Amino acid sequence: MILLFRLLSHLPLAALHALGALLGWLAWLLSPTYRRHMRENLLLALGESGMRRVRPAAIAHAGRAALELASIWLRPLEKATALVAKVSGWELVEAATQAGKGIVYLTPHLGCFEVTAQYLSERAPITVLYRPPKQAWQQTLIETGRARAQLRIAAADLAGVRALLKALRRGEAVGLLPDQAPRVGEGRWLNFFGKPAYTMTLAARLTESGATTIMLWAERLPGGAGYHFHLQQPTQAIRGTTEQRAQQINHEIEQLIRQCPEQYLWGYNRYKRPRGVEAPPEMI
C-alpha cells in the first residue's frame, strides 16, 4: 500500500481526484453499511431533498479525500502546500500570533483536512492530535507523511494531551478533528444535527486555556485546481462549562458543514456508541 501511494503521489492532483471519485463510488456500491450511514447522516442533517441533492457529490468527494493523501503526505512540503491556491481569513492567525496565547485550530472532516496542518507548519510550529490506526502500514504512512520540520504529531492518549497543553503554554498552535468519536470516558452525549453524538471534550478543554480558537477547513476546488483555505472565527465566543463549550463546538461544526455539505465525510459513523459507553436515554 505504501508503494502504491508513492506511485500515486507522482500523479497530478486532477488525476488523483478523478480516480478518487471512481473509488468513492466503488466503496459506496460495495458496502451496504457505508451506504446506510451516509443516507442516515445526510437525512438527519439535510432532509430528504438535501440528501438526494448532496449524496452523489459526497460519494465522489469521499474517494477524493482518500487518494489526495498521496499528494499531501508523500510530496515535499513545498509542493504539498503549493496546492493551497487561496487563503481567506489569515488576518485571524496574525492577530492570534500577536496575542501570544497560542491557537486552537478546529478542523472537522470537511474538505481536505490533511493539508491544513501541513500548510500551517510551513509558517509556525504546530502540534496535531491523531488516533493511531490499527494497521502497521497505516501508521508508517502517517509518520512518513506528517514528518515535517515544524509539525509534531501527538497520539490521542494522556501523553498526547500533555503535548498539546505544553504547546499552548509555549504560545504555539495545536490542531485536532473535533468531530471524531472519542473513546469511553473521553466524551459526552451532545447534540449534533439534532441527534445525540458521543462528543470529545478535549477540544472544549483546550479552549479553556485562553488560546485563540479558529475554525478551519480546506475546500477542494474543482478540476484539481487545489484548495481554498478557510479560516473563520466561531460564530459566538466559546465560553461556559466544558460541556457547554463542547456543545457549542458541535454547533460551529454544523455551520462549517452547511457551507459545503458535499465535502463532508457523511459516511463516517459519527453517531456510533463506543464500546463501554452508556447509551443516552433516547437510545436505550
What pairs with residue 192 in β-bridges?
Answer: 195
Instruction: Retrieve residue 4's grid coordinates.
Output: 502504491
φ and ψ at 207, to 5 degrees? -70, -20
Can you tell me whether residue 232 is helix, strand or coil? strand
Beta strands 126-130 and 151-155: pairing type?
parallel
Q: Over its length of 284 residues, how does the chain's per-residue pLDDT go in tens digits?
A: 778 888 889 999 999 999 999 999 999 999 999 999 999 999 999 999 999 999 999 999 999 999 999 999 888 999 999 999 999 999 999 999 999 999 999 999 999 999 999 999 999 999 999 887 777 767 777 777 777 889 998 888 889 999 999 999 999 999 999 999 898 889 999 999 999 999 999 999 999 999 999 999 999 999 999 999 999 999 999 999 999 999 999 999 999 999 999 999 999 989 988 888 988 876 44
φ and ψ at 267, to 5 degrees? -80, -10
pTM: 0.93
Nearest to 232 by CA among 210, 209, 257: 257
Q: Are 86 and 228 in contact (CB under 8 A)?
A: yes
Tens of pLDDT, residues 123-153: 999 999 988 777 776 777 777 777 788 999 8
Give residue 224's region: left, alpha or beta (phi > 0; psi -120 to 50). left
CA distance linking residue 133 with residue 119, whole number of Å: 23
**Among the residues of the chain, which ranges form H helices?**
2-8, 13-30, 32-67, 69-73, 77-81, 90-99, 114-121, 136-145, 158-169, 202-207, 242-259
